[in-house]
Structure 1
Amino acid sequence: MPHAPSPTPLWLVRPRSDGGCDYVRFLSSAGSDDTAEVEVREGSHLPPQMPLLKRRLRLPAAEAEACRRHLQQEGGYRRSEPLF
């Protein structure tokens, strides 16, 4: 039985003056457009330390998209390859 491909996370990163960065990771859940949720993880990372998870929440897909646009337009975040 074939299985659905796993969703690819979207990473947004904002560099900090101390050499670290703030990050937000969006990961969509499988589901119809009406029931799709997105897990949003916000944190910070200063290598070589372990990443710090500040907040994790689930949002409806439309709300998560609005959050992503806000972070990119007003928060200084840019798309990135996965940090870890």
Structure 2
Amino acid sequence: MDTLWLLRPCSDGGTDYICFRDHRDHVEVLEGYHLPPQMPLIKHRQLLLSADVPRCRHRFERQQGFRHGPPLF
């Protein structure tokens, strides 16, 4: 996995997003919001060990309603 996007549409036409970016020994997780043409807003950033990614992804998909999708930007 180089980059994985999880998306959730918002009622105002914007999109909540989670972006997993693979690095050598860890994965950067960006949580944010995007409503074009505005710049994306990063709400939270964290680093995870690669082994923790499936559990984190499961939490976002099953408990918070995010779905895999194409890159927003």
Per the normalisation by structure 2, the TM-score is 0.92
Matched, 1:76 2:70: no
Matched, 1:15 2:24: no
SS of aligned partner of 1:83:
coil
CA RMSD of aligned residues (A): 1.1
- Unaligned residue ranges in structure 1 (runs of 5+): 1-6, 31-35
Query: 1:29 — aligned with what?
Result: 23
* Aligned residue-pair number: 73
Per the normalisation by structure 1, the TM-score is 0.81
Mapping of residues 36-75 of structure 1, within 5 Å? 36-75=25-64
Greater Rg by CA? 1
* One-letter amino acid of the structure 2 residue matched with residue 78 of structure 1: R
- Unaligned residue ranges in structure 2 (runs of 5+): none
User: Which stretches of structure 1, 4 residues or more, deviate above 3 A after TM superposition?
Assistant: none
